[in-house]
Amino acid sequence: MLVFQPEYVQDCLAAQPDLTIDFNAPGRHAAVAIVLVPHQQDTQALFILRATKKGDPWSGQMAFPGGHYEPEDKDLRVTAERETLEEVSLDLARSGHYLGSFSPVKANPRGNLDMLVVPQVFALETKPEGLQANYEVADILWGDLGRMLDRQLLTQSTFPQFNRSTVFPGYQVGKEVVWGLTFRMLNEFFSLLVPDWQAPAD
Protein backbone atom coordinates (compact mmCIF):
# COMPACT_ATOMS: atom_id res chain seq x y z
CA MET A 1 0.00 0.00 0.00
CA LEU A 2 1.19 3.50 -0.82
CA VAL A 3 0.77 4.77 2.76
CA PHE A 4 3.50 2.37 3.90
CA GLN A 5 6.06 3.37 1.27
CA PRO A 6 9.24 4.36 3.15
CA GLU A 7 9.44 7.83 1.58
CA TYR A 8 5.86 8.63 2.54
CA VAL A 9 6.26 7.26 6.07
CA GLN A 10 9.45 9.27 6.52
CA ASP A 11 7.73 12.46 5.37
CA CYS A 12 4.82 11.90 7.79
CA LEU A 13 7.18 11.32 10.70
CA ALA A 14 9.30 14.34 9.80
CA ALA A 15 6.21 16.59 9.71
CA GLN A 16 5.55 16.05 13.42
CA PRO A 17 6.64 18.52 16.09
CA ASP A 18 10.13 17.84 17.43
CA LEU A 19 10.08 15.17 20.10
CA THR A 20 12.13 16.00 23.20
CA ILE A 21 12.61 13.33 25.83
CA ASP A 22 13.72 14.35 29.32
CA PHE A 23 15.70 11.37 30.56
CA ASN A 24 16.07 13.05 33.95
CA ALA A 25 12.32 13.08 34.53
CA PRO A 26 10.83 10.52 36.90
CA GLY A 27 9.93 7.17 35.41
CA ARG A 28 11.58 4.94 32.83
CA HIS A 29 11.93 5.28 29.08
CA ALA A 30 11.89 2.61 26.42
CA ALA A 31 11.83 2.22 22.65
CA VAL A 32 10.45 -0.34 20.24
CA ALA A 33 11.27 -0.94 16.58
CA ILE A 34 8.49 -0.97 14.01
CA VAL A 35 10.23 -2.77 11.15
CA LEU A 36 8.49 -2.48 7.76
CA VAL A 37 9.13 -4.82 4.82
CA PRO A 38 7.30 -5.13 1.49
CA HIS A 39 5.32 -8.36 1.10
CA GLN A 40 3.35 -9.15 -2.05
CA GLN A 41 0.77 -6.35 -2.38
CA ASP A 42 1.04 -5.37 1.30
CA THR A 43 3.62 -4.25 3.85
CA GLN A 44 4.43 -6.40 6.85
CA ALA A 45 5.78 -5.49 10.27
CA LEU A 46 7.94 -7.57 12.57
CA PHE A 47 6.36 -8.77 15.81
CA ILE A 48 7.59 -10.90 18.66
CA LEU A 49 5.70 -13.15 21.03
CA ARG A 50 7.22 -12.47 24.41
CA ALA A 51 8.28 -15.49 26.42
CA THR A 52 6.28 -16.33 29.51
CA LYS A 53 8.18 -14.85 32.43
CA LYS A 54 7.16 -14.25 36.00
CA GLY A 55 7.18 -10.57 36.92
CA ASP A 56 6.98 -9.36 33.29
CA PRO A 57 3.77 -7.30 32.86
CA TRP A 58 3.78 -8.17 29.14
CA SER A 59 4.57 -11.86 29.64
CA GLY A 60 3.27 -13.97 26.75
CA GLN A 61 2.00 -10.97 24.78
CA MET A 62 2.61 -9.89 21.21
CA ALA A 63 4.89 -6.86 20.90
CA PHE A 64 7.40 -5.03 18.77
CA PRO A 65 11.04 -5.81 19.59
CA GLY A 66 12.41 -3.29 22.04
CA GLY A 67 13.18 -2.53 25.64
CA HIS A 68 14.43 -0.07 28.22
CA TYR A 69 16.72 2.86 27.51
CA GLU A 70 20.17 2.43 29.05
CA PRO A 71 22.54 5.30 29.94
CA GLU A 72 25.09 4.11 27.38
CA ASP A 73 22.52 4.46 24.56
CA LYS A 74 23.09 7.60 22.51
CA ASP A 75 19.33 7.97 22.01
CA LEU A 76 16.15 5.91 21.78
CA ARG A 77 16.88 4.94 18.19
CA VAL A 78 19.99 3.20 19.48
CA THR A 79 17.89 1.58 22.21
CA ALA A 80 15.54 0.12 19.60
CA GLU A 81 18.42 -1.07 17.44
CA ARG A 82 20.27 -2.65 20.37
CA GLU A 83 17.19 -4.44 21.70
CA THR A 84 16.17 -5.72 18.26
CA LEU A 85 19.65 -7.15 17.73
CA GLU A 86 19.55 -8.81 21.14
CA GLU A 87 16.03 -10.20 20.83
CA VAL A 88 15.84 -11.39 17.21
CA SER A 89 19.43 -11.02 15.85
CA LEU A 90 18.35 -8.35 13.33
CA ASP A 91 20.99 -5.63 12.97
CA LEU A 92 18.97 -2.55 12.07
CA ALA A 93 22.01 -0.29 12.42
CA ARG A 94 23.50 -2.05 9.37
CA SER A 95 20.55 -3.28 7.31
CA GLY A 96 17.66 -1.00 8.28
CA HIS A 97 16.71 2.38 6.84
CA TYR A 98 15.69 4.63 9.72
CA LEU A 99 12.50 6.58 8.99
CA GLY A 100 11.89 8.40 12.28
CA SER A 101 9.84 8.16 15.46
CA PHE A 102 6.48 9.27 16.74
CA SER A 103 4.77 10.26 19.95
CA PRO A 104 5.52 8.18 23.04
CA VAL A 105 2.87 5.87 24.42
CA LYS A 106 2.49 5.70 28.17
CA ALA A 107 2.79 2.19 29.52
CA ASN A 108 0.93 1.65 32.73
CA PRO A 109 0.04 -2.04 33.06
CA ARG A 110 -1.99 -2.76 36.16
CA GLY A 111 -1.40 0.84 37.24
CA ASN A 112 2.02 0.21 38.79
CA LEU A 113 4.51 1.17 36.06
CA ASP A 114 5.44 4.68 34.95
CA MET A 115 7.16 4.37 31.59
CA LEU A 116 7.12 6.13 28.21
CA VAL A 117 7.66 3.96 25.13
CA VAL A 118 8.75 5.73 21.93
CA PRO A 119 8.21 3.81 18.65
CA GLN A 120 11.13 3.98 16.20
CA VAL A 121 10.31 3.13 12.57
CA PHE A 122 12.66 1.32 10.17
CA ALA A 123 12.33 -0.08 6.66
CA LEU A 124 13.97 -3.11 5.09
CA GLU A 125 14.16 -3.84 1.37
CA THR A 126 13.50 -7.56 1.81
CA LYS A 127 12.42 -9.85 4.60
CA PRO A 128 15.50 -11.05 6.52
CA GLU A 129 16.26 -14.73 6.80
CA GLY A 130 17.67 -16.66 9.70
CA LEU A 131 16.36 -14.50 12.54
CA GLN A 132 17.01 -16.08 15.91
CA ALA A 133 15.00 -15.42 19.04
CA ASN A 134 16.76 -15.03 22.38
CA TYR A 135 15.44 -16.24 25.73
CA GLU A 136 13.03 -13.29 25.99
CA VAL A 137 11.20 -14.22 22.79
CA ALA A 138 8.97 -17.26 22.24
CA ASP A 139 8.33 -16.64 18.53
CA ILE A 140 8.97 -14.21 15.65
CA LEU A 141 6.01 -13.30 13.43
CA TRP A 142 5.14 -10.96 10.56
CA GLY A 143 1.80 -9.16 10.33
CA ASP A 144 0.06 -7.53 7.34
CA LEU A 145 -0.29 -3.82 8.06
CA GLY A 146 -2.56 -3.04 5.12
CA ARG A 147 -5.09 -5.63 6.24
CA MET A 148 -4.95 -4.19 9.76
CA LEU A 149 -5.51 -0.68 8.42
CA ASP A 150 -8.51 -1.93 6.41
CA ARG A 151 -9.85 -3.71 9.52
CA GLN A 152 -9.67 -7.10 7.84
CA LEU A 153 -7.59 -8.40 10.74
CA LEU A 154 -9.46 -6.55 13.49
CA THR A 155 -10.63 -9.02 16.09
CA GLN A 156 -11.16 -9.39 19.81
CA SER A 157 -10.02 -11.88 22.35
CA THR A 158 -10.06 -12.53 26.07
CA PHE A 159 -6.99 -11.68 28.12
CA PRO A 160 -6.25 -11.54 31.87
CA GLN A 161 -6.53 -8.04 33.31
CA PHE A 162 -6.61 -7.07 36.99
CA ASN A 163 -7.03 -10.70 38.05
CA ARG A 164 -10.01 -11.28 35.78
CA SER A 165 -10.57 -12.14 32.13
CA THR A 166 -11.55 -9.20 29.94
CA VAL A 167 -12.31 -8.96 26.22
CA PHE A 168 -10.02 -6.59 24.29
CA PRO A 169 -9.83 -5.61 20.61
CA GLY A 170 -6.72 -6.46 18.64
CA TYR A 171 -5.23 -7.43 15.30
CA GLN A 172 -4.78 -11.04 14.23
CA VAL A 173 -1.22 -12.10 13.41
CA GLY A 174 -1.13 -15.79 12.64
CA LYS A 175 -2.67 -17.55 15.62
CA GLU A 176 -1.80 -14.66 17.96
CA VAL A 177 -3.54 -11.35 18.68
CA VAL A 178 -1.81 -7.97 19.04
CA TRP A 179 -3.61 -6.05 21.77
CA GLY A 180 -3.01 -3.55 24.57
CA LEU A 181 0.03 -1.30 24.29
CA THR A 182 1.14 -2.54 20.85
CA PHE A 183 -2.43 -2.25 19.52
CA ARG A 184 -2.45 1.40 20.63
CA MET A 185 0.92 2.02 18.96
CA LEU A 186 -0.33 0.56 15.68
CA ASN A 187 -3.44 2.72 15.76
CA GLU A 188 -1.35 5.81 16.47
CA PHE A 189 0.90 4.90 13.54
CA PHE A 190 -2.04 4.38 11.19
CA SER A 191 -3.62 7.68 12.27
CA LEU A 192 -0.36 9.44 11.52
CA LEU A 193 -0.22 8.03 8.00
CA VAL A 194 -3.94 8.46 7.25
CA PRO A 195 -5.16 11.52 9.18
CA ASP A 196 -8.88 10.86 8.60
CA TRP A 197 -8.59 7.18 9.59
CA GLN A 198 -10.83 6.26 12.54
CA ALA A 199 -9.02 4.10 15.05
CA PRO A 200 -11.00 1.27 16.63
CA ALA A 201 -11.67 1.76 20.32
CA ASP A 202 -9.21 0.10 22.65
Closest CA to 93 of 110, 106, 81: 81
pLDDT at 113 over 70: no
pLDDT at 25 over 80: no
pLDDT tens-digit series, residues 38-97: 999 999 999 999 998 776 666 789 999 999 999 999 999 999 999 999 999 999 999 999
pLDDT at 110 over 70: no
pLDDT tens-digit series, residues 123-165: 999 999 999 999 999 999 999 999 999 999 999 988 766 566 7
pTM, entire model: 0.93
Report domain 2-146+179-191's class. Answer: alpha beta
- Report the pLDDT value the prediction gives residue 2, as an integer from 0 to 100: 84
pLDDT at 111 over 60: no
- Report the pLDDT value the prediction gives residue 18, as an integer from 0 to 100: 82
- Report the pLDDT value the prediction gives residue 28, as an integer from 0 to 100: 85
Burial class (CB in 10 A: 0-12, 13-18, 19+), 165: exposed
CA distance 44 to 37: 5
CA distance 88 to 82: 10
Percent of the chain with pLDDT over 90: 75
Closest CA to 127 of 141, 147, 145: 141
* H helices, E strands: number in the chain: 5, 11
Cite the DSSP H helix spans in 69-165: 76-88, 92-95, 145-149
The residue length of the chain stands at 202
pLDDT tens-digit series, residues 169-198: 999 999 999 999 999 999 999 999 999 999
